[in-house]
Amino acid sequence: MIILKRKFYRITIPLSIVLIGMFFYCSMDHGLGPIPVIKGKVFLKGKRPDIAGELITVVAPDFPPKKWTDIIRTTPLNISPDYDLTNKDTLEWELPLPTGTYDVVAILWKKHDEEWSFETVSNVLGVYNKPNEFKPAVVDIAPGVMVVDSIDMRADFGMIRYGSFVKGTITYQGDFRDDTAMIILAAFPMKPERVIDYLYAMGWDLTVPTIQKAYPLHYVLNISSGYIKYVAVFWKGKNGGPYDFKKIGEYMLQNDPPLFPGAWQPDGIWVSEGDTLTDKFYNASNGIDSTNINIDIVADFGRTY
């Protein structure tokens, strides 16, 4: 069993404190102007599931964020009451921000009965990016610029991963690295080989703990129903680019058995809505039995180098 060391991170000052501080500072007649604003549109589409509650725009100065206080957010976006009839809407948003550079702008969602918290960082509906690029685009507010416009995003309710579950454990090997910034758990319908393959993740968790945890870590990963083939743990260090992730542990699932000899054999294991991952196998009578299984992953910090 490995006990991870407690890590202390720099806390980004919440926007409310920034605004209060600037109010009192400006009242001393230092000649400071108003705070800049970034704004844009959200092109929303897809069938909105009953589970989906509020949507917000979030901005993070650094990626990955370490805690919820590192994230600046809007009030809930105003979705048209007729959305369920049209399955599309255009939302407008704006957010006052200090001058600086921001690594990521995204749209998050939460369940109706949940509170906004760091766990909802995994609930991504859309990200601001450049055309034909699969990573978030940086937003820069230069000194003297008061408005940064056209930070537009496409958000698809089809990105919501819910209804089924993968459960198991993560056990770490090797020495924990002090420069660990983020650990991600993700499930895929195939083993991702290209950058675009990662867009097809059936579920992901961006909030796997990295501080003072005894392992093995028991997890439950929300996923969409369908065929699942591959579950992996990724590591990111504090140094290097914001998207330099390294795979440190993986689990390849076997295919479902065919329904009868000669039948088409699916690639992966089917997960039905509301179920955990189920392993299917032939019994002594040549029928198919099934049982819930745990996906136990061994992640090696030695693979981060």
Write out pLDDT tens, residues 208-226: 887 656 678 889 998 988 8
234 lies in some domain = yes
Residue 4 within any structural domain of the chain: no
Give the strand pairing for 245-252 and 217-223. Answer: unpaired
Tell me the pLDDT band of 244, cut-offs 50, 70 and 90: confident
Specify the pLDDT at position 211: 65
Same domain, 99 and 175: no
The whole-model pTM stands at 0.74
Q: Tell me the mean pLDDT in the region 202-211.
A: 85
Percent of the chain residues topping a pLDDT of 90: 43
Write down the residue that tokens 């009868």 correspond to. 260
* Sign, Cα dihedral of 10, 15, 17, 18: positive
Q: How do strand 37-45 and strand 88-96 relate by DSSP bridges?
A: antiparallel
The predicted pLDDT at position 55 comes to 96
234 and 132 in one domain? no
d(CA 235, CA 176): 11
Tell me, yes or no, whether 12 lies in a domain: no
The predicted model gives 287-291 an average pLDDT of 75
Residue 305 pLDDT? 80
Tell me: do 82 and 115 sit in the same domain.
yes
Please report, to the nearest 10 degrees, the dihedral formed by the alpha carbons of residues 239, 244, 247, 252 taken in order. 160
Euclidean distance between CA atoms 169 and 226, whole angstroms: 22
pLDDT of residue 138: 93
The string of pLDDT tens digits covering residues 267-288 is 888 887 777 777 677 777 777 7
Examine the fold and report which residue of 143, 159, 175 is the final residue of a domain before the chain moves on. 159
What is residue 200's predicted lDDT score, i.e. its pLDDT? Answer: 84
Q: Which of 159, 185, 215 is the last residue of a domain?
A: 159
Establish if 23 belongs to a structural domain. Answer: no
Based on the fold, state whether residues 209 and 296 are members of the same structural domain. yes
Q: What is the largest CA-CA distance in the chain?
A: 86
Residue corresponding to tokens 């991952």 = 277
121-125, 176-180, 290-294 — which one is most confidently predicted on average? 121-125
Q: How many domains does the chain have?
A: 2
Highest mean pLDDT among 21-25, 105-109, 281-285: 105-109
The CATH code of the domain that includes 47 is 2.60.40
Is 21 among the domain residues? no
- pLDDT value of residue 139: 96
Same domain, 264 and 188: yes
Q: Which domain holds residue 108?
A: 35-159
Judged by average pLDDT, the poorest of 15-19, 240-244, 246-250 is: 15-19
Answer yes or no: do 128 and 238 share one domain.
Answer: no
Q: Which residue shows structure tokens 């609930």?
A: 123
Residues 147 and 189 in one domain: no
> What local confidence, expressed as pLDDT, does residue 23 receive?
27
